Amino acid sequence: MKLIAQGAESKLYLNENKVIKDRFRKSYRIQEIDGRLRKFRTKREAKILEKLSLIDFSSPKLIETDKKEKIIMEYIDGELIKDILEKKYKTLSSEIGKKIAILHNNNIIHGDLTTSNMILNNKNKKVFFIDFGLSFFSDKIEDKAVDIHLLKQAMESKHYRIWDKAFKEIIKNYKKEAENSEEVLKRLQKVEKRGRYKGKK
């Protein structure tokens, strides 16, 4: 097994065409609380992946989970969108907008929408979303608006040359596909105003 990534909560290992996600113990947390948290987050992520598979969404397929701390899923081979967005932002952004709409229509909040968590698959040339570790189910307009707001912030920071044009393309296609797009985008404006107000304090 080869370690391919490490975050605050977990390590990712590559084993042939499978990715093993291992949520490691946190020594600073009380052991019982730590165990419960890891179990809850692992089970929730597995449920999200199962749901995504049912709706045939472009994301890693769940292979197995111990429902405690480990998830084994399909490895998606390709290029990270963060590395190629500037070359072909229009087509990629169009697909990203449509796919966020599919998630939200199924009441799935990604929770960490960044171009680092999207891959252009080498095999079928589709955009795959990855890392559903912070994802959850919600039908709340606020949660959907915040999801998009986080993506906007990430794009502004990472893709400052083209983020505005790319984000407009995302929103244009989200509006076409999302069931509650008008409500979500109105709430997005409020979320952004709150962020600006906090920044001035």
User: What are the catalytic residues?
Assistant: 112
The DSSP code for 116 is G
- In the chain, the N- to C-terminal Cα span, in Å, equals 48
* 189 to 43, 181, 184, 195: CA distances (angstroms): 33, 12, 9, 10
* Other Cβ atoms closer than 10 A to 51: 19
The DSSP code for 61 is P
CA distance 182 to 176: 10
Strands (E), the chain: 2-6, 10-15, 18-23, 62-65, 70-74, 78-80, 108-109, 118-121, 127-129, 136-137
CA distance 68 to 167: 37
